[in-house]
Amino acid sequence: MSQSSKSNHKATVNNKDENFLKEFLRDFHQKIINTKDFNNFEYNLIEWIKNINKNNNEKILELMRNHEQSKFWFSSIIGYFYQFGVGCDINKNEALESYLLTVNSYEKYSNSLEENNDEFNKLNIIIGKYLLSLFYYKDIILNKRNLTSNLKRSISLKRSANPIRFRSQNQFDLNKSKDNMFKKTIGNDAKQKDSSNKKEIETEDQKEFKNWLKSAEKDNSEAQYKVGNCYYYGKGIIQDYNKAFEWYSRSANNEYLLGQNNLGFCYEHGIGTVKDYDKAFEWISKSANNGCSISQNNLGKCYYYGIGCTQDFYKAFEWYNKSANNGNARGQYSVGFCYRNGHGTIKNYKKTFKWYTKSANNGYAEGQNGLGFCYENGIGTTKDYKKAFKWYSKSANNGYALGQNNLGICYKNGIGSIKNYKKAFEWISKSANNECAEGQNSLGEWYYYGKKDYKKAFEWYFKSANNECAEGQNNLGFCYENGFGIEKDDEKAFEWYFKSANNGCALGQFNLSTCYYHEIGTTQDYKKAFDWVSKSANNECAKGQYCLGYCYHYGVGTRINIEKAINWYRKASDNGIKDADVELRNLLENFW
């Protein structure tokens, strides 16, 4: 591909740039998935790029072009930059060449890609297909009115490329059936009625926006809040976070509680303004103190995580409680969560169950998942697998990714339902593709234990681990230790076991202890081996219980203590470890 540039200077891609480019690619993909304004798509996207890149688009273009995976990850966006002159002169030929390179690159270049980076290649192809279809439709069909000849080019492209079909907000599927993207952009008679209805809805949104705007300009605080929402969601007007922030500010300064809450949200997440946790806390506090139940929950969150204030579980619980008692479903879930974990209050599983029930019945998907968990595990209530399945189903169908994973596990293991591996795989896959770390780990286990596809197992464990799932981190360490789906690497195995152990995974703690004991990826240290196997045993890991008994029996990392050895061997034996039976029998024969 020919590549022209205004500058001969070659931008170096450092780690910070690498992370930025990856996020930029993901966000670009999300913009395509979420777009509701097809006619103004390009304009909205250009404005978004300008906002995030702070008018430094030339450098971004150079970084993408100089990246070692430029052909595989960024060719689609490079084409977009050339098509609309973002950071360069407009060059439609260069744009088309980039798009064609993208859609034809998958089979040609897939063997060159690193296993863990294939995600970005797939995103690039999705983006490229969408942009190419728009290019044909708007730049060729609409401008030249040459529909017949360009349909032939579209059909030719469909036959040569490997089409991609959207399945959900952030899930993609490579397939060799019809290319729905060309149908979507070129259109057909069967969809004209739906398109007409959509235009009517958009017109109503525009009328509503104009009415709110008139009222807002007369200093109506609620209307100012509504106008802010219109700009935030792109409802009846082009999405514009800067203007959303502006109108939320006006509403907040006019003492409208939801306006104050949303202004705090903007400051917290850097929407239309620079992130400022202190100001986020200030505005959320104002709204909460004036009785807004949504803000009361959000203020509890600020105290819980230390956002703009010192972390304080007691104050977090206090504000969650106010929100919950004012009928807010999120606040009700948050109170239940605090009771479950003893954060800011004493652990009380009955109250956990009580508040999760209220939250679930008020339609909050996370509360529904929490209630399912209570029924499955007998937390604050008697175990009831059918009810667990019922509430996981509601949570999953309401889009909560962890609920989707738990529903998949129910189908897999026959919990409250007949076993159905097809549905299990579908729900676990949905969860994983919706960025649920637990779902990604479950999908990794599916490939590892079920389909025996160690490469895919490794891929999903890797995603789960990087999303901070302790079980996923342990499984990734196991892959590195044993060379499953990846080249054996003891140091990386130790690294991931260490992360898993520190995140509270009992099996990760056990595996970390074996690293210290057997000198796997680290220096041998019996004392540390003993410390970690103790944590594992106390966290109910049967293998850890057996090995802790062994440590006390033979004095590994600690003094010999036969009484404690017998105690831990018995626990391990009760949990199914046969070797513990042998050691226990030997001890009892020799000492009693």
**Would 572 be classed as within a structural domain?**
yes
State residue 139's pLDDT score.
56
- Both tokens of 572, joined, read 């391990």
Query: Any idea which residue has 């590195």 for tokens?
Result: 480
Q: In 3-state terms, what secondary structure has residue 174? A: strand
Torsion sign across C-alpha atoms 112, 118, 122, 127: negative
Tell me: pLDDT of 592 over 90: no
Extract the runs of DSSP E, i.e. beta strands, from 148-288: 164-168, 171-174
Alpha-carbon span 312 to 319, nearest angstrom = 11
**Would 464 be classed as within a structural domain?**
no
Q: Which helix (H) or strand (E) element contains residue 57?
A: helix 57-66
Alpha-carbon span 136 to 179, nearest angstrom = 14
State residue 395's pLDDT score.
97
State residue 89's pLDDT score.
77
Tell me: pLDDT of 158 over 60: no
Alpha-carbon span 66 to 60, nearest angstrom = 10
Q: Which of 186, 209, 226 is the last residue of a domain?
A: 186
Q: Hey, which residues does 173 pair with through a beta bridge?
A: 165
Backbone angles phi, psi at 531, to 5 degrees: -60, -45
pLDDT band of 105, cuts 50, 70, 90: low
Alpha-carbon span 449 to 471, nearest angstrom = 15
Tell me: pLDDT of 298 over 50: yes
State residue 57's pLDDT score.
77
**Would 478 be classed as within a structural domain?**
no
Backbone angles phi, psi at 346, to 5 degrees: -80, 140
**Would 167 be classed as within a structural domain?**
yes
Tell me: pLDDT of 546 over 50: yes
Instruction: Report, as an integer, the average pLDDT of 477-502.
Output: 97
| CATH number, domain containing residue 538 | 1.25.40.10
Whether 264 contacts 279, CB under 8 Å: yes
- Of 146-160, 213-227, 248-262, 572-586, the one with minimum mean pLDDT is 146-160
Q: The whole model's pTM is what?
A: 0.66
Q: Which helix (H) or strand (E) element contains residue 227?
A: helix 221-233
**DSSP code at position 139:** I
**DSSP code at position 173:** E
Q: Which of 144, 167, 186 is the last residue of a domain?
A: 186
**Would 425 be classed as within a structural domain?**
no
3-state helix, strand, coil in the chain (%, to 5): 75, 0, 25
- Both tokens of 276, joined, read 């400022």
State residue 31's pLDDT score.
76
Q: How large a percentage of the chain has pLDDT more than 70?
A: 81
Domain range holding 50? 15-186
**DSSP code at position 135:** I
CA distances from 253 to 23, 165, 532 (A): 34, 46, 54
pLDDT band of 193, cuts 50, 70, 90: very low
**Would 205 be classed as within a structural domain?**
no
pLDDT one-digit tens code per residue, 14-32 = 777 777 888 888 888 877 7
Q: Which of 127, 160, 186 is the last residue of a domain?
A: 186
State residue 71's pLDDT score.
65
**Would 409 be classed as within a structural domain?**
no
**Would 30 be classed as within a structural domain?**
yes
State residue 87's pLDDT score.
79
Alpha-carbon span 128 to 574, nearest angstrom = 58
Q: How many domains does the chain have?
A: 2
- Of 123-132, 211-220, 441-450, 508-517, the one with minimum mean pLDDT is 123-132
pLDDT band of 132, cuts 50, 70, 90: confident
